[in-house]
Every structure is written in structure tokens, then in C-alpha cells.
Amino acid sequence: MSITLLLVNDMKTKLVWFDPESVLTQVSSQPDFDRRLELSFKEKFEQLGNTVFHIHEQGCMCSRLTQTQRGKIDQLAQEQGTIVQTLSLSEQPWLRFWLPSTPAIVMFDETEKLVYLGPYSEGWLCNSANSLVESLLPRLSKTVGSIAIVHSQAKGCYCSANSS
């Protein structure tokens, strides 16, 4: 058996739920969830419109697995004039209220409405093949008036936001 295959088999056994206690699932089902999240971000940042927030925790090995995908997202965002910010849970502990795990991404459209909150993708390898994020980027620079996507039921390589 090759070393690569051993690594893949080992990583598959360590997949965890993004929202293991279903806290985000329950909270996001409340009618005012989007508005409360938007207000929470608005308290910290002047500009939310047409913005992508990458959220990571220092020391989380899973964050390294998203580097290629983050680079692609950043390139696509730059091409369409979307603002990109990278936040660390250790520097922004208030994010722990909203996110059960990292790495995660939060996206707002031009009217400062939530478009997406959740992990970059599922599985042990973060990439565009198993991700909604890249397909949602064009919605950020438009007013589309659709419902936000809160993706909490994913299984992959995630670090608990509340373990620090």
C-alpha cells in the first residue's frame, strides 16, 4: 500500500461534522438569523457589501488544506471587484458565536445581505469540485433577493471554533 493511500485512508477516518452539536442548524432556522448576523458583522466592519470573509483559526491544520481554494476564490473575487478579508478567531473571538468550526467563509451581496455562511467544501480535501462557494461569487455584486445559504451539515476537515 502506498504512502499516499495510507494518508488518504487516515484522513477519511478523521472527517468531522462542521456543526457537530447542530447549534448553527438550530440558530439559523430562526426567522431573524440573517439580520442578526448582518448586524453583528456591521458592528465590526464598515463595509459588508460585496464582501467575502475568510475565517480561520491559527494552528488549525485544516486551514492549510483550503489555501488553494482560497487563492482561487480571491482571484475570482478580485476579477469582479469583490472585497476579501481574512479573519482569525483568535483575533475576532465574537465569531465563535456564529461559527461552530473553521475554516469557514461568510459572503455578503452588494446590499449587505448574507449570501453564504459555512465551510468552503466537504470531504478531506477542500476544492472547487465539492464546493458551492465559487458558484455563489457572481451573486455578490448583484441584488438577487434570494435566500441565504447556511451550510451547516457538512463533513470534512474542520477544527472546532470553541476548543480554543
Which pLDDT band holds residue 108 (cuts at 50, 70, 90)? very high
Binning the chain into helix, strand and coil, the percentages to the nearest 5 are: 40, 20, 40
Contact between residue 155 and residue 15 where contact means Cβ atoms under 8 Å apart = yes
Task: For the chain, list the strands marked E by DSSP.
Answer: 16-17, 51-56, 83-88, 101-102, 104-108, 114-118, 149-150, 155-156, 159-160
Q: What is the model's pLDDT at position 105?
A: 95
For residue 87, the SS3 value is: strand
Q: Provide, rounded to the nearest whole percent, the portion of the chain with pLDDT above 70.
A: 83
Which pLDDT band holds residue 3 (cuts at 50, 70, 90)? very low
* Integer Cα distance of 87 and 102 in angstroms: 11
Q: What is the model's pLDDT at position 126?
A: 60
Q: What is the model's pLDDT at position 4?
A: 41
Top-confidence residue, 8 or 98: 98
* Integer Cα distance of 123 and 24 in angstroms: 19
Among 19-33, 91-105, 129-143, which is the least confidently predicted range? 129-143
Top-confidence residue, 125 or 66: 66
- Beta bridge partner(s), residue 117: 106, 150
Tell whether the model's pLDDT for residue 79 goes beyond 70: yes
For residue 149, the SS3 value is: strand
Q: 113-140, pLDDT tens digit by residue? A: 999 999 988 876 665 555 678 778 877 7
Q: What is the model's pLDDT at position 7?
A: 45
Tell whether the model's pLDDT for residue 1 goes beyond 50: no
Tell whether the model's pLDDT for residue 42 goes beyond 60: yes
pTM for this predicted structure: 0.86
* 119 burial level (CB within 10 Å; 0-12, 13-18, 19+): buried
Helix (H) or strand (E) holding 3: helix 3-12
- List of residues 6+ apart from 11 with CB closer than 8 A: 124, 157
Which pLDDT band holds residue 9 (cuts at 50, 70, 90)? very low
